[in-house]
Structure 1
Amino acid sequence: MSTTAADPTGTGPSLGEPTEAPPASPPTRPPLGRRALTGLSFTNIGAVYVWIVIIVVFSFWAPDTFPTWQTFQQVLNSNAVTGLVALSVVPPLAARVFDLSIAYTMSLTGVITAKVIISTDIGAGGAIALAMGTALVIGVINGIVVVTLRVDSFIATLATGSLIQAFITMFTDGTSITGVKLLREPFASIGQKSAGGFTIPVLYLLVVAVALWFVLEHTASGRRLYATGFNSDAARLQGVPTDRLRFLTLVASSAIAGCAGVVFASQIGSGSPEAGTPYLLSSYAAAFVGATQLRAGRFNSWGTVIAILLLGTGTVGLGLATSAQWAPSLFTGLVLIVALVVTGGRLGLRTRLTRRRAPRKEAA
């Protein structure tokens, strides 16, 4: 066989024989400077820049009280429970499921813990175990109604929340459960112990945030959860157990909300039948704002923590700068509307792109 000019050794393939394609070069990462600019862009961490603006505004508005280390401690300490409740809705939202029963679950675990401690000799450990078991049962019931019975999650969890509130009212007669035992150790230390000016619920917030970050960002289950939220039909065709994941997110949501209820009962030294109601709006506001940060279009834990700091700074600042009781609610509502507009647009774009790519993969 004669050789060609391109193969002077005569060892290459003859004409008509298939040749192997050269190996594809690995994708090159963008330069460090460009990656840094992308990470610091307003699109990626816009809430951080808004937070800085809020700090500057209130520093001029209330210069004597706001720009202090004590105010920063107050922002974290007073919003740690809010952060726990906000993180409780991140897993179901990542799977495109709403859990509106979290506020009532929080109230129920608080009153159960307080009632058992006051009325029995079980102790704080047994009371907390009973309350958390109740929270898990609520999560299972939500999962059965939403996943097994195929009831829309918004309506289903609103209905279960109403049932929980009815049980709370029957259980407490609409009055808070108080007693000296709730102010004693070890129960009091769960929500009141502090170090360096920061209360222990701040540590709980960080632990839950790290746990959710690891599960959502660094495990196969987290990737499947996001796939379920972006396009459940496509995920199901790829073998993702979408129903099981949605079921588990509702259980996890109730468990975290239950923890928040126990911590709050320890903080205030009583079991309030209305403890969780004020946290519903702020928790969803934080979760939706968080979905515009760091992992745009994805509900994530650290974005939610950033949103908690933003909302907490705004509400604390308004409390120091003005005595208007309606101002914090107005601020939270406006932030939620803006977050819904931004997040809805990004999630819709991501979903459309996913659905456009799916047929191409099947055709290939």
Structure 2
Amino acid sequence: MTSTPTRAAQVRPARPDGTTPRTLARLGRRTVAALSFRSIGAVYVWLVIVVVFSVWAPETFPTATTIKQVLNGNAVAGLVALSVVPPLAARVFDLSVAYTMSLTSVLTARFLVSAGLGPGTAIALAMTAALLVGVVNGIVVVVLRVDSFIATLATGALVQSLITMVTDDSSITGVQLLAKPFADLAQLDVGGITLPVLYLLLAAVAIWFLLEHTATGRRLYATGFNTDAARLQGVRTDRLRFMTLVTSALLSGFAGIVFASQVGSGSPTAGTPYLLSAYAAAFVGATQLRAGRFNAWGTVLAVLLLGTGITGLGLATSAQWAASLFTGSVLIVALVLTGGRIALPTALRRRKATSPPVPSEAGAAAVPDKEAGR
């Protein structure tokens, strides 16, 4: 008489380290997926860029000095890029970040040089101005229901007029900007790596934790995927969108203060060159790590990729148009790649809504919450 082996007897024996072949296979599949071009394609492109410029400019590019230059020179750009990530996660554009950065740059310099205030007071007043810009953006976009793209562009124009009134389109300079402790805010370094790199890492950790490990982050993604459905689920979408605009203004305002400390002057056009690169980095970052979602670490990776390319072009060629051409090309490619991926959850919901049985409004509202909870 034969006996049927039990389920426990059919389980394959564990390896000496406690893992089973099935567990190892699962880990292997996850590793392959995590290292695929779809997940971290920017890393492979980044490596190609490094190889190309190492061959193109072998005497100047593959050096420790270049690494420090990429990190230190793109920390402010990274802060501006991270400032647009929370609004984009909620499907809100903030085009005023460049003007807010310029505003805090010139206000800090004005308070230090002309008003004779201390660094702490000057920074606090400049950040208050950035906060007001964020509140105005929130009122116009959320309360008055003006499209965020147009509203923040108009707000930026108003901020630029204020900057012109304060500076008469001239940079503000003075020994107060070069003196400690204000100069140390951006110029103090450890092993050649300046403090703005640390600010960038701290901001990335904060945004990453918010979006990936809190209920607020899941609600932000749900709002971005489908605002109406998220509202039916009880998500306070208006409050979230308002807070993302305030957060964006504060972070870009801080970037302006760091910029003033870094260059030793308050420039009325400090933020203008950073607007295109910020959105390029954010959209490239949305194709990495968390494909289809704007995320912090993908944005930082994209900033370093763009910074490496621009630095390499600067070392290999003196053409002034090369950097803008590189950034614009990367942004176009990123928009093409993210267009399909970011629209994917909506497309899935639409297919589900048209298939039998037809879901109710409450059922449809649950979809973005599931997407956000992945």
Q: Does 1:228 align with 2:223?
A: yes
Equivalent residue letter for 1:360: P
5+ residue gaps, structure 2: 1-22, 364-374
Deviations 1:128-180 (A, max 9, x none): 00000110110000000000000000000000000000010011011000111
Q: Does 1:313 align with 2:327?
A: no
CA offset at residue 355 of structure 1? 3.9
Same amino acid, percent of matched pairs: 73
CA offset at residue 351 of structure 1? 1.7
CA distance in 1, matches of 2:320, 2:113: 34
CA contact (8 A) 2:75 2:200 kept: yes
Summarize the Cα distance change of 1:87–1:29 in structure 2 as closer, same or farther, 3 Å threshold: farther
Q: Give the aligned partner of residue 339 of structure 2.
A: 344
The 5 Å alignment of 1:23-42 reads 31-42=26-37
CA contact (8 A) 1:135 1:258 kept: yes
Partner SS state of residue 277, structure 1? coil
CA contact (8 A) 1:191 1:267 kept: yes
CA distance in 1, matches of 2:361, 2:53: 55
The 5 Å alignment of 1:92-131 reads 92-131=87-126
Q: Does 1:287 align with 2:282?
A: yes
CA offset at residue 362 of structure 1? 4.8
CA contact (8 A) 2:171 2:267 kept: yes
CA distance in 2, matches of 1:57, 1:112: 42
CA contact (8 A) 1:231 1:355 kept: no
TM-score by length of 2: 0.88
Partner SS state of residue 342, structure 1? helix
Q: Does 1:264 align with 2:259?
A: yes
From 56, 65, 79, the counterpart of 1:61: 56
Q: Does 1:84 align with 2:83?
A: no
Deviations 1:81-121 (A, max 9, x none): 00000000000000000000000000000100000011224
Deviations 1:239-260 (A, max 9, x none): 1101110000000000000000
From 199, 202, 210, the counterpart of 2:205: 210
CA distance in 2, matches of 1:109, 1:29: 53
Deviations 1:222-253 (A, max 9, x none): 00000000011111111110111000000000
Equivalent residue letter for 2:253: G
The 5 Å alignment of 1:127-142 reads 127-142=122-137
Deviations 1:293-316 (A, max 9, x none): 000000000000000110000000
Equivalent residue letter for 1:312: G
Summarize the Cα distance change of 1:249–1:363 in structure 2 as closer, same or farther, 3 Å threshold: closer
CA distance in 2, matches of 1:200, 1:361: 53
CA offset at residue 29 of structure 1? 10
CA distance in 1, matches of 2:361, 2:148: 30
Deviations 1:253-289 (A, max 9, x none): 0000000000000001010000000000000000000
CA contact (8 A) 2:281 2:303 kept: yes
CA contact (8 A) 1:111 1:177 kept: yes
CA contact (8 A) 2:232 2:362 kept: no
Question: Cα RMSD over matched residues?
Answer: 1.4
Q: How many residues align?
A: 337
Q: Give the aligned partner of residue 326 of structure 2.
A: 331
Equivalent residue letter for 1:314: G
Equivalent residue letter for 2:161: A
Deviations 1:202-229 (A, max 9, x none): 0000000000000000000000000000
From 182, 189, 194, the counterpart of 1:187: 182
Summarize the Cα distance change of 1:29–1:212 in structure 2 as closer, same or farther, 3 Å threshold: farther
Q: Give the aligned partner of residue 360 of structure 1.
A: 359
CA contact (8 A) 1:191 1:266 kept: yes
CA distance in 2, matches of 1:342, 1:96: 17
Partner SS state of residue 360, structure 1? coil
Q: Give the aligned partner of residue 161 of structure 1.
A: 156
From 208, 233, 241, the counterpart of 1:238: 233
Deviates more, 1:292-301 or 1:353-362: 353-362
Structure with max Cα Rg: 1
CA distance in 1, matches of 2:25, 2:306: 34
Equivalent residue letter for 1:33: G
CA distance in 1, matches of 2:238, 2:24: 36
CA offset at residue 354 of structure 1? 3.1
Q: Give the aligned partner of residue 278 of structure 1.
A: 273
